[in-house]
Amino acid sequence: MEFINLKAQYTAYKDEIDGAVQRVCANAAFIMGGEVADLESSLAKYTGAAHAISCSSGTDALVLALMALGIGCGDEVITSPFTFIATAEAIALVGATTVFADIDLSDCNIYAALIERAITPKTKAIMPVSLYGQCADMDTINAIAARHNLAVIEDGCQSFGALYRGKKSGNVSTIGTTSFFPSKPLGCYGDGGAIFTSDNELAARLAMLRNHGQSARYEHKVVGINGRLDAIQAAILNVKLRHFDAELSRRAELRTRYDRLLAKGGVTVVGEGAKSVTAQYSVRVKHRDRVAALLNAKGVPTAVHYPKPLHLQEAFAALGYARGDFPLSEQAADEVLSLPFSPFLTEAEQDTVANALDEAIKEAAC
Ligand SMILES: Cc1ncc(COP(=O)(O)O)c(C=O)c1O
């Protein structure tokens, strides 16, 4: 059993993907060009944002969003400690300081009610993460941001396609970002990402920043980065985007089925008005490491997203946080376990996972 069945997905779209890649090779237009422009207009249409700017990864999408907002040294950005390192890494890379606020255990996203007390005169932005494919409490977060004149950058690296009160992830804040890492809900065959905004000025700045700050050939208005998406990845994404809504429907069916099969497990709740793309199907279990080992021994692959919250990572020691500062993030890090999930998971595999999990939980408790 595969944790995420990317091989089955490739087999399903093989002819289209092979053809798209060959066309790029035949045209030898590998950087920017038609495939990238087509993808950007499809992504903007899909999310409802006025602009989609493709880029080299989800990490670079976050860095570029911060750069475009002019956030840097002396500024603070509030985010969740229970996320992939890239979220806080991007803040550090632009020279700003990360300030953490704890999560809500029901969905493992930042707990909006805790954000306001983390705001200081140095705060410039809030960066909620749409963890496991579900947006955070964006209405509350946007209202807090408006009251304090802050930008909101959605780290939507796991949530492309998710819905929040009728709006698509990427289009629920000042700037939204996503990742096209292969295992993401919409993944390419290497690294890739995108940034979304409906602010024309920010969009123009983002497009410049991701291409060495270039406004016209060899005219560099600002210091930027090489943050471009390549044409082969764009061509693959153009194919996969055509199948994406069908995949999301299958994801939703399989999620509901898991919820039913695992009714006793600590499944993550989908909030009111939200639609998750279930980037990860994660449960919370006691004796997590033992349960994972027992599952792996039964041939069920698992993963932990994430075993150590960011405030306890050595890389962020200088921020001065200690164990106990964000107890719910620490509890989640001890208990979460991601189960095999993708639109190509079979129902028979799901039954195997559910039975094995049931047994493993009982065995681990002995
Ligand atoms: C929440 C989150 N933020 C940022 C990233 C970074 O994306 P990438 O791997 O494309 O740089 C990821 C990807 O793993 C992620 O899950």
DSSP string, 274-299: EE---SSEEEE-TTHHHHHHHHHHTT
Q: What is the pLDDT of residue 80?
A: 98
| pTM of the full structure | 0.97
Whose CA is closest to 358, among 283, 271, 255? 283
Helix ranges (DSSP H) in the chain = 6-27, 34-47, 58-68, 86-93, 138-148, 200-209, 231-261, 288-297, 327-335, 347-365
Kindly give the number of the ligand 1 atom that is closest to the alpha carbon of 62.
4
Confidence of residue 21 (pLDDT cuts 50, 70, 90): very high
**Spatial CB neighbours of 174, under 8 Å, sequence gap ≥ 6:** 69, 125, 145, 151, 152, 153, 197, 199, 202
87 pLDDT above the threshold of 70: yes
Residue 25 CB neighbour total at 10 angstroms? 12
Section 70-84 average pLDDT: 98
Section 70-79 average pLDDT: 98
Nearest-CA residue for atom 14 of ligand 1: 84
CA quadruple 214, 219, 220, 226: dihedral, nearest 10: 40
Q: What is the pLDDT of residue 243?
A: 98
Residues 23-46: tens digit of each pLDDT:
999 999 999 989 999 999 999 999
Nearest-CA residue for atom 13 of ligand 1: 157
Section 55-78 average pLDDT: 98
Q: What is the pLDDT of residue 268?
A: 65
Measured in angstroms, how far is the CA atom of residue 62 from the centroid of ligand 1? 9
Q: What is the pLDDT of residue 267?
A: 57
**Residue whose tokens read 């944002």:** 49
Measured in angstroms, how far is the CA atom of residue 325 from the centroid of ligand 1? 24
| Separation of alpha carbons 132 and 323, rounded Å | 24
Six-digit token string for 117: 């007390």
225 pLDDT above the threshold of 70: yes
Q: Percent of the chain scored above 70 by pLDDT?
A: 99
Mean pLDDT over each residue of the chain, to the nearest integer: 96
Please work out, in degrees rounded to the nearest 5, the angle formed at the alpha carbon of residue 319 by the alpha carbons of 105 and 81: 15
Q: What is the pLDDT of residue 86?
A: 98
Q: What is the pLDDT of residue 266?
A: 58
Nearest-CA residue for atom 10 of ligand 1: 58
Kindly give the number of the ligand 1 atom that is closest to the alpha carbon of 158.
16
Write out residues with Cβ below 6 Å of ligand 1.
57-59, 83-84, 86-87, 129, 155, 157-158, 179, 181, 191, 193
Residues 153-198: tens digit of each pLDDT:
999 999 999 999 999 999 999 999 999 999 999 999 999 999 999 9
**Residue whose tokens read 């921020």:** 319
Alpha carbon 125 to its chain centroid, in Å, reads 18
Q: What is the pLDDT of residue 257?
A: 94
For a substitution probing ligand 1, which of 59, 93, 129, 135 has the most ligand atoms within 8 Å of its CB?
59
Confidence of residue 263 (pLDDT cuts 50, 70, 90): confident
Beta strand spans in 80-230 (E):
97-100, 103-104, 109-110, 123-127, 151-155, 163-164, 167-168, 175-179, 193-197, 214-216, 219-220
Q: Percent of the chain scored above 90 by pLDDT?
A: 95
365 pLDDT above the threshold of 90: no
Six-digit token string for 284: 């919370």
**Residue whose tokens read 């200081």:** 120
Kindly give the number of the ligand 1 atom that is closest to the alpha carbon of 179.
10
